[in-house]
Amino acid sequence: MVQTLAAAGDLQRDLQRELTYDGLRAAEAKGAKGGHHPAAGWSNGAWPGG
């Protein structure tokens, strides 16, 4: 039973990875960049206020 659950988890992880990569490729094809937007207050990678 544990092996069945582990196999289902692996399948789910692989499917999620595929869907994520597919979405990133589709966004890149439209000219969008993946990842986070820069945080407010950051300048040249320095900590805000410091």
Residue in 35, 9, 10 with CA at minimum distance from that of residue 23: 35
Mean pLDDT of the chain: 82
Give residue 40's Cα distance to chain centre: 21
- Whether this prediction's pTM lies above 0.75 is answered by no
| CA gap 12, 19 in Å, rounded | 11
**7-29: burial string, b at 16+ Cβ within 10 Å, e else:** eeeeeeeeeeeeeeeeeeeeeee
The amino acid present at 7, given as its one-letter code, is A
pLDDT in tens, 30-45: 988 766 776 665 556 6
3-class DSSP state of 43: strand
What's residue 10's pLDDT? 96
